[in-house]
Structure 1
Amino acid sequence: MIITITPNPALDATVTLDRVHPGDTHRVAPAAERAGGKGINVARVLTDQGEDAVAIAPVSAAERSFSDDLGGVPHSLVGTFERLRRSTAFVETETGVTTIFNESGTPQPDTVWTELHDVVSSRLPRATCLVVSGSCPPEAPDDLTARFVSLALNAGVPAIADATGEQLLGAARAGATLLKPNRDELQATTGESDPLAGARALQALGAGTIVVSLGEDGMLGILADQDAPVLRAHLGRVLSGNPTGAGDAAVASLAAALSRNPRPDLADLLRRAVAWSAAAVLMPQAGSIHPDHASFLTEVSVTPLEQS
């Protein structure tokens, strides 16, 4: 069973229109709404692909549509009195551009984090991988992600973190099995403009494998062993669609691989992560991948990174 933790879940709304004209009034079709947050999206992709996964997140009982929308995705929602944040994506069909407005969320009382810890602990004996994914709400402990990473590792369960800032640094110090920042998150966290240098900085703190999302340029895979080759994987063509769930699909792929083998082949790991990420771009909402994702595997090129 793969556990996904979403510290800052959201109600995702996707508005599709021809084009956004700043300052104008737009008449659009009703937004497509979905229970979201990065860890929720990861669990949804995993479940759709036949993996055993459970989504854990703090959500108010008043947000009944959130639980209802999860449908067949196994989940355990920790109660809170705080309002669920909203995330709205505006997808332009003419340009292929997606603009996203993410609310920051509201602070949670410490009791919520304690209960979340207890729920995760109760699931760990059956877990094969743990994923902590996405932002944390304001005033959350700086080491919140690190706490869950340590909890998993102490139970002998591989841990993945998709985070930024202090949460990413804390996960590295806790010895996360795999970290998956994107290029911008990595630079903002480490101050390094070179993704490889940023990854090495996280590994110097104690992190294991680093997979860096480079957007249309694919992904980098960096093992903790500095003698091992650094690999770059990319699809070789640019897909038009909604990229908001691409990173979450990649994390789902990585979690599925680690749940079967804590030391998977790096090239295979990257190839499938890029394929799932690309397949997510073709879907209108985050949390799904296109049924033909397997066909992308043959298109993904994996090569050693040329280093100066």
Structure 2
Amino acid sequence: MILTVTPNPALDVTYTVPHFRPHTSHRVTGIAAQAGGKGVNVARVLTALGRPARCVLPLGGPTGEAVRTELAAAGLDHAAVPVAGDTRRTVAVVDTADATMFNEPGPALAPAEWDALLAETERHLPQAAVLVLSGSLPPGAPADGYAQLVTLGRGFDVPVVLDADGPALLAALPARPTAVKPNAAELTAATGLPDPHDAARTLLRRGAESVLASLGPDGLLAVDAHGAWRCAPPAAVTGNPTGAGDSAVAALAAGLSGNAGWSAILPDAVALSAATVLHPRAGHFDDDAYHRLRHSLTAARLGAASPSGW
């Protein structure tokens, strides 16, 4: 089972419009609402792939109840930590070319509520093959919140994948996450370096054991102590990029659970990410496109590698 922790979940609302333009009115042609947050998206993708996954997340208020109801309706295994504040919402406005996001900050967690989230995570770790930590930290969470969760996972000898940015990412690196997954902009923001390979090496020196960097239409770059690997789709994919990074994390976690190397993980992650862009909602993917791309992609090794690929 792959365990995902989403400290700042949301009810994701998606509006579909023919063409989005700021400063004007729009006629919405489609509305969807589902449980969201990056870790929930990861678990949703894994479940669709037939891989057992369980979500741990704090939920509160009427919006939290709506999230809980949708998780159950979707058949997503979850363990909710009750909190006093109302769970946040996000709104994605999607047209044929891209998506525009509006993200609420989320409710503040009291210290006891954060401790309860840690305790709930620890309760499920003995059954976990991989621990995935995803998304923003909510108001009230400690600055080293992800470091605490990484340490918890590593204490159970469970590989830990961290998908966070900014201070939350930097504070977690000394705890030595197995893999971190920033995008190109997050890499530059964390290191001040414009080159993704140089920036990834900096994160390794600061404590990450490996880095999987999202480079948008240029695919993915993986860097660890043994070398670097690249994989990209054959052509740019247009649609809703929301959730593409979460699908890459799902592929990474699935690969880690099976001790796969980058040569297997990268094509799977690129194919799954691209197939997610083709679907209007995060946490879902175009199954035909995924399988077609998966069989056409290979990873290019850019540096010396260990026999295992790691």
Per the TM superposition, whether the score is higher than 0.5 is yes
1:244 aligns with: 242
Is the 2:5–2:57 Cα contact (8 Å) retained in structure 1? yes
Pick from 92, 97, 101: which aligns with 2:95? 92
Question: Is 1:34 aligned to 2:30, yes or no?
Answer: no
Pick from 277, 280, 283: which aligns with 1:281? 277
Question: What is the SS of the residue equivalent to 1:244?
Answer: coil
Residue type of the alignment partner of 1:83: D
Residue type of the alignment partner of 1:172: L
More displaced, 104-113 or 176-185? 104-113
Pick from 270, 290, 299: which aligns with 2:296? 299
Is the 1:61–1:79 Cα contact (8 Å) retained in structure 2? no
Structure 2: 5+ residue runs without aligned partners? Answer: 304-310
Is the 1:211–1:219 Cα contact (8 Å) retained in structure 2? yes
Q: Count matched residues.
A: 299
The structural deviation recorded for 1:294 is 1.8
Pick from 81, 87, 99: which aligns with 1:78? 81
Q: 1:38-117, aligned counterparts within 5 Å?
A: 38-60=38-60, 62=62, 63-70=64-71, 71=73, 72-93=75-96, 96-117=97-118
Residue type of the alignment partner of 2:80: L
The structural deviation recorded for 1:19 is 1.2
Question: What is the SS of the residue equivalent to 2:243?
Answer: helix
In structure 1, C-alpha distance between the alignment counterparts of 2:21 and 2:125, rounded to whole Å: 49
1:135 aligns with: 136
The structural deviation recorded for 1:138 is 2.5
Q: 1:191-202, aligned counterparts within 5 Å?
A: 191-202=192-203
- Give runs of ≥4 in structure 1 deviating > 3 Å: none
1:22 aligns with: 22
Is the 1:207–1:224 Cα contact (8 Å) retained in structure 2? no
After superposition, what is the alpha-carbon deviation per residue over 1:265-288, rounded to whole angstroms, capped at 9, x for unaligned? Answer: 212111111011111111111111
Residue type of the alignment partner of 1:236: P
Question: Is 1:167 aligned to 2:168, yes or no?
Answer: yes
More displaced, 97-106 or 204-213? 97-106
In structure 2, C-alpha distance between the alignment counterparts of 1:48 and 1:15, rounded to whole Å: 23
In structure 1, C-alpha distance between the alignment counterparts of 2:136 and 2:24, rounded to whole Å: 31
The structural deviation recorded for 1:170 is 2.4
After superposition, what is the alpha-carbon deviation per residue over 1:213-234, rounded to whole angstroms, capped at 9, x for unaligned? Answer: 0001101010123xx3x11100
Is the 1:236–1:301 Cα contact (8 Å) retained in structure 2? no
After superposition, what is the alpha-carbon deviation per residue over 1:44-97, rounded to whole angstroms, capped at 9, x for unaligned? Answer: 11111111110011011533221111130000010011121111111112xx12
Residue type of the alignment partner of 1:167: A
In structure 2, C-alpha distance between the alignment counterparts of 1:198 and 1:142, rounded to whole Å: 22
Is the 1:235–1:301 Cα contact (8 Å) retained in structure 2? no
TM-score, normalization: structure 1? 0.93
More displaced, 47-56 or 98-107? 98-107
Aligned-residue sequence identity (percent) comes to 43
Residue type of the alignment partner of 1:81: A
Question: What is the SS of the residue equivalent to 1:65?
Answer: helix
After superposition, what is the alpha-carbon deviation per residue over 1:165-221, rounded to whole angstroms, capped at 9, x for unaligned? Answer: 121112221110011111111111121111111111111112111100000110101
Structure 1: 5+ residue runs without aligned partners? Answer: none
Residue type of the alignment partner of 1:197: D
Residue type of the alignment partner of 2:104: E
The structural deviation recorded for 1:21 is 2.5
After superposition, what is the alpha-carbon deviation per residue over 1:120-179, rounded to whole angstroms, capped at 9, x for unaligned? Answer: 111111110000001112242111111111111111100000000121112221110011
